[in-house]
Structures are given as C-alpha cells and as structure tokens.
Amino acid sequence: MQSLARGLSVLDFIARSEGVTFTAIVEATGLSKAVVHRIVAELLRSGFVFRNRSNKKFFGAPLIAASPSGSYARILLSAASQPMDWLVKKISWPSDLFIHEGRQMVMIESSRPSSPFHLRWSRIGRNAPMLLSSVGRALLAEMSPEERQTIYDELKAEGEWKSQIGWLKRPLDQIIDEACERGYAERERSFAGPVLERSGETSFAVAIRAGSGIIGAINIWWPSSADPDQVFISRFKEPLLECRSKIETNLSICD
C-alpha cells in the first residue's frame, strides 16, 4: 500500500500541474530521487504521464487522453518527433502538434524552441477551439458528416457552440467544405481570444490519420505581417504534407 500511495502522490502532483520537472516532483512529494525515478518510469510506460521533448517537463496524460491510458497521445508524440524536427529544419517556422480529445484539440508538442523565429509560446496541454483553430477545422474536414455532427452536438451541449460560431465571418459548412477541397484548413482570422490563436499570428493545418481514424493535426505558425496567407501556404503546404506523411508512416509501423 505504501508503494501505491507514493505512486498516486506523484501522479496527482503531475496531473494537477501545467508541466513539472523531475526536481519539482522530488521536492513536492518529499520522496527520494531513486523512488521518484522508478515511479515516473512506470507512469511513462503505462501511459499515465508523458514527457515533452522540448522542455523535458512531465505532463499528466488525462489532459490529452485519446484512450483511457493516454496511449494514443504517447504514440503520436513518438511518431511525430523526428518529422517535426525535419520540418522546422526545412522551413524554420514552428509547428504545434495536437491530439483530438472530445470536442476540442489539445496541444501535446511544439517545435517552437527549435525555430529561429520567436513567436509567442503556448503551453503544452492548452486547448484549441474546434471551430476556430486551424487544427480543429482540419480534423473536422477529414471526418464523416456523422462524426462531425457528434462534435457539433457536444459543443452545443456544453454551451460552447454559440461562443465559437459568433466569431465566424462565413458559414461553418462553407469553411469546412473549403478545407476538404484544399486539403488543409486555416484558422479564423477574426478570432483574437486567449487560447493559442492570437491576433497577429496565423496558422494552417492538416489532419493526421492512424489506421481508419483521425487522431490529431499539425500546423505551421507565422506572423500575419510576414507574408499574405496564400503566398505563405503555397510555399509551405508541401513540406507540411510531407511531415504529415512521415508521421502517418511512423504511426502505421506502431500498429
């Protein structure tokens, strides 16, 4: 029982934090480094926590659970690691990786620390609005009408539908149809809310498939002042698609 209590205390501290270091876990729990190392190693193997490769902090998998154990998130992180490194080296602009969780998208990785362009940082575990973000729209565009409607119904049930729809400058169906046709999605430029999509920065994204399902999306960020949207997208669409292909290939190997 003592081992279980120790494990739960470590997991509880990680899950309630917005990313913690190994040293912070030791200090908060009062456990020895050897005990914490053993517990964290088991939590990583079990999928209850994951470690961000950029800042080396630990995060609780419940924030990003695509399955009860968070295994999809862990697999997606592993599959995307090298492709994201390749992409930021090729184009310099940063990318963020998201996993689909219910009615929202959750950020689980970013190449911003490796980019020479210093855009504003958004923390791992941050939610992006489904109807307004490029990653949310990319996911919706790849879904069947039935799957899409399920998410719409969840947004309505939670009272989020009206608040997101209110930002749109065009009908939602038109936006999603356009994303389907183009093979990528853009964020809502009018949205200047506090979650990820900030005024002055913009992004476009593509969805990521694993088997027959869609589990996440990856984007590219840039300042609106750098290039007009279509000029930027025409330059970097193919590298983003290639990055997505590399991630999906890695995911297929994991099956």
Q: What is the three-state SS of the chain?
A: CHHHHHHHHHHHHHHCCCCECHHHHHHHHCCCHHHHHHHHHHHHHHCCEEECCCCCCEEEHHHCCCCCCCHHHHHHHHHHHHHHHHHHHHHCCCCEEEEEECCEEEEEEECHHHCCCCCCCCCCCCEEECCCCHHHHHHHHHCCHHHHHHHHHHHHHCCCHHHHHCCCCCCHHHHHHHHHHHCCEECCCCCCCCCCCCCCEEEEEEEEEECCEEEEEEEEEEECCCCCHHHHHHHHHHHHHHHHHHHHHHHHHHC
Distances (CA, A) of 41 to 37, 48, 64, 188: 6, 10, 19, 40
Residues found in the chain: 255
Distances (CA, A) of 233 to 74, 89, 230, 238: 29, 17, 5, 9
Q: What is the mean pLDDT of the chain?
A: 84
Where is pLDDT greater, at 196 or 95?
95
What pTM was estimated for this model as a whole? 0.73
* CATH classification number, 2-46, choose in 1.25.40, 1.10.3470, 1.10.10, 1.10.1740: 1.10.10
pLDDT band at 53 (very low <50, low <70, confident <90, very high): low
pLDDT, tens digit, for every residue of 107-160? 888 888 888 887 766 667 778 899 999 999 999 999 999 999 999 999 999 888
pLDDT, tens digit, for every residue of 213-227? 888 999 998 887 777
pLDDT band at 2 (very low <50, low <70, confident <90, very high): low
Query: Is the separation of the CB atoms in 221 and 122 below 8 Å?
Result: no
* Averaged pLDDT, 37-44: 88
Lowest mean pLDDT among 9-18, 160-169, 187-196: 187-196
pLDDT value of residue 183 = 95
* CATH classification number, 65-254, choose in 3.30.1360.20, 3.40.640.10, 3.20.20.70, 3.30.450.40: 3.30.450.40
- Domain ranges, ordered by start, for the chain: 2-46, 65-254
Query: Is the separation of the CB atoms in 74 and 61 below 8 Å?
Result: yes
pLDDT band at 65 (very low <50, low <70, confident <90, very high): very low
**The two domains 2-46 and 65-254 share their CATH topology (first three levels equal):** no
pLDDT band at 174 (very low <50, low <70, confident <90, very high): very high
Written as six digits, the tokens of 180 are: 């389907």
64 has pLDDT over 50: no
